[in-house]
Amino acid sequence: MNAERRIAVVTGAGSGIGRAVALTLAGAGWTVVLAGRRAATLEETAAAAAGRTVCVPTDVSDPDGVAALFASVRDRFGHLGLLFNNAGTFGRPAPVEDIAYEDWRAVVDVNLTGAFLCAQAAFRLMKEQDPQGGRIINNGSVSAHAPRPHSIAYTATKHAVTGLTKSLSLDGRPYRIACGQIDIGNAATDMTERMRTGTLQANGEVAVEPVMAAADVARTVLHMADLPLEANVQFATVLATAMPYVGRG
């Protein structure tokens, strides 16, 4: 991909996997548009980056905010090569019967509606630009395959992200828009801090789980991003080797 077309948007770029991916992309020569709700943490990511970054504070659950984010990309760069659709929230762990509507809705608004809004805006830009095409990588989870206890909202949205990925892949074919998904298990971030102190297992026990470096995830995303548009990693699973996933429960 030409350097002037190596423009990436990373959502949830202020921390965790989003920050790791943004830093890795920037270090590999991508210009990275950092999106997230908190301007201060985006600036921290930008300060740590070895390459060119632009901070655009954005709430992905807000349609107007998402539209403004991608309009700024179009107006500033005229091209979008990659969206890493990463912003997400686990929500409050609780038994099914205790989940409040507001808690359910908060997870769906970010993990599913936010992912859709960003993918839709990126798709439109990639379809309209000349030359056509680009890549969308959705952040799924091993919870797109196997749930944890007390995670119904998170698990349901991550299963839905898989459907989003498949539909985008199909609908993007005529326009050279590739879409893949990375399913991540126990990357060491604030969201997985509880894994290192003990988390509820399917058998009712509480156990410490292994974690891996977020940088290992970021290298996989970079590999997916750097492929020519004629090739696509449809689904990739990257996880801490010894975590309870295969045979979970």
154 is catalytic: yes
How far, in Å, CA of 128 to CA of 56, rounded? Answer: 22
How far, in Å, CA of 195 to CA of 207, rounded? Answer: 8
Are 14 and 38 in contact by the 8 Å Cβ rule? The answer is: yes
Handedness of CA 16, 108, 157, 58 (dihedral sign): negative
Are 154 and 107 in contact by the 8 Å Cβ rule? The answer is: yes
Give which of 213, 12, 244 is closest to 147, Cα–Cα: 244
Percent helix, strand and coil across the chain, each to the nearest 5? 45, 20, 35
- 196: which DSSP letter? G
Catalytic residue annotation: 154
